[in-house]
């Protein structure tokens, strides 16, 4: 009996012992898992060269700092992903493909061939996110801007500052130019010095913390690091720094000097420096992407003052609904003997300055007729503005383009402004190759309504609303079109052969130059004869059948529709680049007949290039009561 009891007790003790060991194991694991997570070992260190083993003293001392660094990485990745999501919602990416460039000879001293090159097309719709299909109110989208980036990839030596700027421009466009021109000199030198010393101290600290003989120095360095982190988290300017900051900086420099005098394993110091450099580069890249996104958002968003102007004019229009706005000039709108200009625009100031500059430089303003095609949202404000503002003896007609869209063509919703492509290509300069960026604009699908809207006319000149006229344009009506449809300035640095995969499986002449919208002489009679509108819609349908979205298909089809139907205008007619190129000469600007503010930095935006904006403001009446009431000050 006793033997049985003893056996039972021994068995019970063994079971309890196993249970206690299991519980203790779970407790230890529950403590280790959070510790490992906090120290960042679940993802490894940011730099692959950082040592994986450190003493317990180093881990304890650097625990907070390492956790902070890993938190920073996670936050940046999360924020970067969030920004990418916002960009995709606001600027939905249509297509991004790598396409080899065919070997196409290029005129005007450009590179003769590019057999080792590649073509990167980044096409984005430049309008804000469209409302859901089930929404009752469906406002017409703002202008569709398309950026097609075409960098030419070649073997490069190590990057210089200029090359970094070029790569930035290829990736982010005119934002990099704007950032460079508006860069401010850092005046907070004390803050900069503190950040530099903090950077160095963080690199030395892990190696110092491993040495028991220098425990006092380790504590001092840790204390200084924590003090600097606290101060820099609360202020970013010298003026906000607390008193005795100079003394703290001297103590930090003394601690760093003592650390440098100690014999260390500098491989670890180097690896820590690399880790901190990687963190800094990631943070800089994140802020660059964020800034570029905010810049693009500023470009595409209507300023509050211009929105106010449109709303005030619309309200005033309905208060004066009894007025007949175009009765006195209605007979001019269909007179084929006059000079007819067509402007697609949703911007009151842009179209007003364009018309004012054209009339101011015309020899016979009474022969000028302007047809503004806008959307339903801006139709009434445009009507009132051009009724209250006269432009010498010219006539202005405002039309709602939505009234002319065929009911069967439901995809053509609202007004669509010219499509704009950002193209980067190489040009030889002395002994090295240079990059050049241009913004090439082509017709949108709204332009293919022209033959139906102006049935009584055989010839018109189409002007983009970001144009400025400096000379009389009457001679455009004397140009012999040689049975071509579209008189346009060509850009032979970019040929259709370089866009072969982008343009789909259609047949086209690979040596044809890209043509520019902005100033276009259109033979409507020849257009109708060739049925080009039907050709455009057929091409759109074929590209959609290949899986291309409608907006992308429309811009591609526009490049192909006028193939072999473009009459090249002399380059002197248009000087382009005033919306992105800071280096245009004053002499070239004075000689140009028209100026094209193509690019993101439009003159009516705060982002506009100041030295070109003054030319545009010359034709704007800034004393207008509506402008004053809405505080419009471009």
Tell which wins on pLDDT, 64 or 548: 548
Helix (H) or strand (E) holding 20: helix 2-39
Q: Is residue 365 part of a domain?
A: yes
What single string gives the DSSP state of each residue in 530-589? HTHHHHHHHHHHHHHHTT--HHHHHHHHHHHHTTT-EEEPPGGGEEE-TTT-TT--HHHH
Strands 467-469 and 594-596: antiparallel
In this structure, the dihedral spanned by the alpha carbons of residues 104, 110, 115 and 119, taken in order and rounded to 10 degrees, is -80
Contact yes or no for 557/532 (Cβ under 8 A):
no
Does residue 173 carry a pLDDT above 50? Answer: yes
CA distances from residue 92 to 80, 269, 622 in whole angstroms, order as listed? 16, 44, 36
- Name which of 480, 72, 136, 516 is nearest 276 in CA terms: 72
More confident site: 180 or 359: 359
Q: Per-residue confidence at 155, pLDDT binned at 50, 70, 90?
A: very low
Q: Which pLDDT belongs to residue 119? A: 36
Strand order in the sheet with 395-400: 395-400, 368-374, 339-344, 459-464, 519-523, 486-488, 566-568
Phi/psi at 420 (nearest 5 deg)?
-120, 130
Domain count for the chain, please give it: 2
Please, are residues 602 and 464 in contact by the beta-carbon 8 Å criterion?
no
**CA nearest 350: which of 464, 516, 473, 517?**
464
Let me know if residue 55 belongs to a domain.
Answer: no
Residue 220 has pLDDT above 90, yes or no: yes
Which tokens belong to 70? 């890993």
Lowest mean pLDDT among 42-56, 77-91, 299-313, 502-516: 42-56
Q: For residues 133 and 484, give the distance between their C-alpha atoms in angstroms, rounded to a whole number.
A: 41
**What's this model's pTM, rounded to 2 decimal places?**
0.68
Q: Which of 144-158, 323-337, 407-421 has the highest mean pLDDT?
A: 323-337
* Residue 465 placed within a domain: yes
Residue 266's CB: how many other CB atoms inside 10 A? 11
The token pair at 160 is 């210089």
* In contact, 549 and 96? CB cutoff 8 Å: no
For residue 550, pLDDT beyond 90? no
Q: Which of 477, 577, 459, 446 is nearest to 526 (CA)?
A: 459
Closest CA relative to residue 422, chosen from 177, 106, 78: 177
Band (328; pLDDT cuts 50, 70, 90): confident
pLDDT of residue 511: 79
In a domain? residue 487: yes
pLDDT at residue 365 above 90? yes
Phi then psi for 632, rounded to 5 degrees? -80, 115
- Establish if 566 belongs to a structural domain: yes
Strand spans (E) along 328-391: 339-344, 368-374
CATH number at residue 367: 3.90.550.10
User: Alpha helix (H) ranges present in 389-488?
Assistant: 450-453
User: Do the domain assignments include residue 99?
Assistant: no
**Beta-bridge partners for 341:** 370, 461
Residue 314 domain flag: yes
Element spanning 492, H or E: strand 490-495
Q: Is residue 67 part of a domain?
A: no
What range defines the domain where residue 446 resides? 304-629
Tokens matching residue 559: 């490049």
Mean pLDDT over 426-435 rounds to 66
Highest-confidence range of 116-130, 154-168, 218-232, 553-567, by mean pLDDT?
218-232
**Predicted pLDDT at 11:** 55
State the burial class of residue 493 (Cβ atoms within 10 Å of its Cβ: 0-12, 13-18, 19+). Answer: buried
Q: How confident is the model at residue 500 (pLDDT cuts 50, 70, 90)?
A: low
Least confidently predicted of 9-18, 457-466, 483-492, 500-509: 9-18
Q: CB–CB of 571/489 below 8 Å?
A: yes
Cα separation, 298 vs 292, whole angstroms: 10
Query: How many degrees, rounded to 5, is the angle at CA 464 between CA 325 and CA 328?
Result: 15
For the beta carbon of residue 166, count every other beta carbon within 10 angstroms.
20
- d(CA 332, CA 396) in angstroms, rounded, equals 9
Is 146's pLDDT higher than 70? no
Over residues 525-543, the pLDDT tens digits come to 999 999 999 999 888 888 8
In the block, tokens 């899986």 appear at 547
Query: Other C-beta atoms within 10 Å of 453: how many?
Result: 17
Q: 10 Å Cβ neighbour count for 413?
A: 16
């Amino acid at each position: 009996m006793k033997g049985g009891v003893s056996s039972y007790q021994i068995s019970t003790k063994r079971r309890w012992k196993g249970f206690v060991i299991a519980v203790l194991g779970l407790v230890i694991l529950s403590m280790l898992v959070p510790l490992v997570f906090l120290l960042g070992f679940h993802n490894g260190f940011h730099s692959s060269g950082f040592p994986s083993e450190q003493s317990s003293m180093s881990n304890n001392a650097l625990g907070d700092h390492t956790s902070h660094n890993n938190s920073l990485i996670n936050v940046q990745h999360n924020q970067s992903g969030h920004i990418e999501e916002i960009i995709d919602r606001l600027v939905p990416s249509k297509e991004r493909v790598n396409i080899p460039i065919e070997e196409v000879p290029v005129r005007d001293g450009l590179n003769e061939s590019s057999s080792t090159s590649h073509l990167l097309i980044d096409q984005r719709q430049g309008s804000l996110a469209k409302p859901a299909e089930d929404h009752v109110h469906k406002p017409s989208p703002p202008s569709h801007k398309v950026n097609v980036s075409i960098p030419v990839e070649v073997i490069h030596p190590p990057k210089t500052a200029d090359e970094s700027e070029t790569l930035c421009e290829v990736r982010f466009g005119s934002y990099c130019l704007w950032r460079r021109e508006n860069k401010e000199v850092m005046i907070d030198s004390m803050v900069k010095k503190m950040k530099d010393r903090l950077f160095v101290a963080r690199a030395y600290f892990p190696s110092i913390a491993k040495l028991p003989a220098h425990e006092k120095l380790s504590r001092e360095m840790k204390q200084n690091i924590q003090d600097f982190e606290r101060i820099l988290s609360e202020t970013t300017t010298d003026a906000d720094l607390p008193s005795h900051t100079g003394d703290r900086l001297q103590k930090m420099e003394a601690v760093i000097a003592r650390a440098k005098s100690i014999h260390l394993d500098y491989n670890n110091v180097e690896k820590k420096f690399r880790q901190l450099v990687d963190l800094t580069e990631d943070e800089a890249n994140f802020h660059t992407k964020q800034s570029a996104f905010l810049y693009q958002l500023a470009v595409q968003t209507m300023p509050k003052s211009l929105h106010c102007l449109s709303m005030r004019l619309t309200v005033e229009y309905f208060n004066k609904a009894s007025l007949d706005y175009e009765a006195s000039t209605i007979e001019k709108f269909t007179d084929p003997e006059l000079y007819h200009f067509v402007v697609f625009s949703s911007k009151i100031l842009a179209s007003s300055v364009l018309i004012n500059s054209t009339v101011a430089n015309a020899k016979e303003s009474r022969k000028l007729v302007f047809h503004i095609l806008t959307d339903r949202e801006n139709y009434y404000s445009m009507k009132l503005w051009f009724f209250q503002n006269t432009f010498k003896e010219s006539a202005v007609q405002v039309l709602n383009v939505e009234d002319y869209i065929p009911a069967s063509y439901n995809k053509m919703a609202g007004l669509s402004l010219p499509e704009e492509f950002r193209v980067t290509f190489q040009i030889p300069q002395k002994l090295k190759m240079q990059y050049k960026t241009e913004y090439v604009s082509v017709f949108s699908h709204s332009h293919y309504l022209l033959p139906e809207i102006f049935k009584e006319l055989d010839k018109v000149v189409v002007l983009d609303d970001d144009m400025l006229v400096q000379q009389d344009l009457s001679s455009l009506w004397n140009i012999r079109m040689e049975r071509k449809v579209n008189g346009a300035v060509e850009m032979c640095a970019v040929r259709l052969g370089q866009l072969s995969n982008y343009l789909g499986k259609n047949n086209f002449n690979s040596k044809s130059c890209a043509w520019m919208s902005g100033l276009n002489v259109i033979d409507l009679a020849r257009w109708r004869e060739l049925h080009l509108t039907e050709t455009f819609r057929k091409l759109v349908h074929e590209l959609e059948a290949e899986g291309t979205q409608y907006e992308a298909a429309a811009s591609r089809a526009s490049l192909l529709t006028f193939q072999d139907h473009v009459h090249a205008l002399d380059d002197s007619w248009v000087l382009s680049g005033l919306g992105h190129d800071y280096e245009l000469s004053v002499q070239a600007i004075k000689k140009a007949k028209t100026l094209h503010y193509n690019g993101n930095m439009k003159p009516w935006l705060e982002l506009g290039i100041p030295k070109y904006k003054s030319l545009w403001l010359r034709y704007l009446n800034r004393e207008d009561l509506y402008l004053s009431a809405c505080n419009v000050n471009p």
